[in-house]
Structure 1
Amino acid sequence: MGELAVEKRKKIIIDTDPGIDDAMAIFLAFESPEVDVIGLTTIYGNVYTSLATKNALHLRVPKLRIADFVHGSDGLGNTSIIPPKGNAIAQSAAEFLVDKANEYPGEVTVVGLGPLTNIALAIEIDPLFSQKIGQIVILGGAFSMNGNVNPAAEANIFGDPEAADSVFTCGADIIVVGINVTHQVVMTDKDLEDLAHSHGKYAKYISKILKVYFEYHHEAYNICGVYLHDPTAMFAAINPSLMTYAEGVVRVQSEGIFRGLTVFDNMKKRWGEVTEWSNKPSVKVAVTVDADQVVRLLVDRLKNS
């Protein structure tokens, strides 16, 4: 009697700027049987790229805006992490993305947790990248609400709005998870206590580095908890049915007071004029999320690590 067929694990590459909630998302991916992490690429955002690379290795084993006031000076909650034993490969992140898209055409999902520079460069290197990549899941944007850098812009898009516009309009299968959705997903003090008292190796680590993140959210947002930005976006790659989506064209303002603003055209009106919006590929933008389920699954998977 033949063995039961096992569903193929989704190959993912995580483009990241670790980052406390990036660390949670990376650990979540490692503990998710639905996906197989075939690489980590790094970009500036929460920390500079060199430190992001160091942090990514540690976790595995325009003027830049660096959010060390949110994540700590080391990006991981000021925990003075042990230097990693591994080394980054010589190949650039964009070249790595292109190579893997060619090696596994239609099978690789890129999860973009920082500014979209590396993905835009991959498109520039290989104009067929958008056809070869299976899917791009993006944490970014603020749709119908204020941003988190300023009222107009969300941090990842603000970090490289030209790259974001290039990626949004490249024609790939794209899911965008903005802070309008991730602000619905809150890890509470009780969830943190649950992690701290568990025996999971990732749970214990995360509970230690979250102190700075909780302090920031209490001061900036006056909430007793933290927004789960990156883990929520990761769940869009792991189990997209946890969210609902609207489909339409997204463009990004690249300069001025609205630099980094993401604008969504729901395509319900047929415009008469030919403009910079005309004939652009659509993307799927998350609009609702099963927040309780996302938090429960994240905590459970970290506890069982």
Structure 2
Amino acid sequence: MASPVVSSSNGSVSVDGPKKIVIDADPGIDDSMAILMAFQSPELEILGFTTVFGNVTAETATLNALRLSEVANRSDIPVAEGCSEPLMGGKPTVVDYVHGKDGLGNITLNPETSDDVPLVPKSNNIEMAGPQFLVDTVAQHPGQVTVLALGPLTNLALALKWDTSFASNVKEIVILGGAFFALGNINPAAESNILQDPEAADIVFTSGANISVVGINITTQVKLTDEELQDIRNSNGKYAKIVTDMCVFYEAWTEKSDKFKGIFLHDPTCFVSLVRPDLFTYTQGVVRVQIEGKCRGLTLLDPGQKEWNSDNAWTVEVDGVGKPIVSVAMAAQVDEIRDYVKNLLMQP
């Protein structure tokens, strides 16, 4: 059985150089914050972006990844547009009421800010599907690439299907998703990234890849108040104005939905788990995703503390090997994570 609780070791820059990452995302305001934080992190080498439907359409997600790259003067980083719908098909639900029509809090719709965020980026995305980019990049750097997955897991599920060696070749997959022993944020059962494509999520969680996941049971604990957002805005941070401009829309939604004047740091918290895993405590076990019924999208962890009398969806063996385990964040040093986010966003 799995060891119930493990604490991660302190994150540090490898002697072999920066950590190679691909960011798979659906930007999205808080996704964009995490991406801008990645640009501020010299310990990371961003090999590319893959985009996916979720907070916005895949097309808008691609546009936003290109916009953010230009803002950071990093148009050299390839952007590969990924899946526009879930594995099983169907029109995805775009949450523009949280992120705005453009996914960036509608700041690209305001001519006053068009000098900061390009309305139409000059650069172009590469002519390769997002899942194929993941497959090719991991194959080129076996055992070296970390995927930071900030949206629905459709691209990753397809990468796993297209290349049977992907799970063993990817160094790690760090996922924002799920609500472990907590309420969801779309309905009481489900978190948005997982509910957008539960079938894909279940494939990824049971793939055998080295996976850590940070759910909203953790991320809803990490917040920036309105006063802290003003501190960022008044700083000399390289991206302070863009971030706080985006967050005006996001903060208005949070106040309406959660009666809190500020924002939740969902994607930024997951990003911190990538670079500072020592600030999180993980429980290891098998994770399955409910794919039908009123609890569709529910993520349920079996932490391995009980011997079951019979096989079930968490224990069924294949060729004598039980379901793969993943690491699920169950506790975090909230103040330190919030301060890490603030410091990066206030960095010149």
TM-score by length of 2: 0.85
Which one of 158, 162, 165 corresponds to residue 199 of structure 2?
162
Instruction: Say whether residues 1:219 and 2:252 are aligned partners.
Output: no
- The equivalent residue for 2:325 is 282
Unaligned runs of 5+ in 2: 1-13, 71-89, 109-116, 316-321
Q: What is the percent sequence identity of the aligned residues?
A: 49
Q: 2:234 aligns with which of 197, 217, 234?
A: 197
For 1:135, give the aligned amino acid. Answer: E
Whether 1:71 aligns to 2:71 is no
Q: Give distance in 1, aligned partners of 2:312 and 2:340.
A: 43
Superposed, 1:230-269 pairs within 5 Å as 230-269=267-306
Matched, 1:291 2:334: yes
Q: Give CA-to-partner distance per residue, 1:189-228, whole Å, 9 cap, x none.
A: 1211111112222112101111000000000000111110
Match of residue 44, structure 1, among 53, 58, 80: 53
Cα RMSD between the aligned structures? 1.2
For the residues of structure 2 that align with 1:292 and 1:203, how far apart are their CA atoms? 20
Residues 30 and 36, structure 1, Cα contact 8 Å, conserved in 2: no
Report what 1:117 is aligned to: 154
Shift of 1:7: 5.7
Does residue 145 of structure 2 align to residue 108 of structure 1?
yes
Alignment of 1:77-116 (within 5 A): 77-80=105-108, 81=117, 82-116=119-153
CA–CA separation in structure 1 for the residues paired with 2:128 and 2:256: 40
Structure 1 or 2: more helix by fraction: 1
Q: Is the 8 A contact 1:12 1:110 kept in 2?
A: yes
AA of the residue aligned to 2:310:
E
TM superposition score normalised by structure 1: 0.96
Moved more, 294-303 or 180-189: 294-303
User: Equivalent residue for 2:62?
Assistant: 53
Matched, 1:21 2:20: no
Aligned length: 301
Q: Which residue identity does 2:38 align to in structure 1? A: A
The counterpart of 1:177, out of the listed 206, 214, 219, is 214
Q: Give the deviation of 1:6 after TM superposition.
A: 4.9
Q: Report the equivalent of 2:7.
A: none
The answer to whether the 8 A contact 2:272-2:340 is kept is no
Give the distance between the partners of 1:262 and 1:298, measured in 2 at CA: 27
SS across alignment from 2:107: coil
Structure 1 residue ranges without an equivalent (≥5) = none
Show CA shifts across 1:23-79 (max 9, x none): 110011111122111111100111000000000100111330111000011100011
**Residue 93 of structure 1 contacts residue 118 of structure 1 at CA under 8 Å; is this kept in 2?**
yes
1:127 corresponds to 2:136 = no
Distance in 2 separating the partners of 1:241 and 1:190: 27
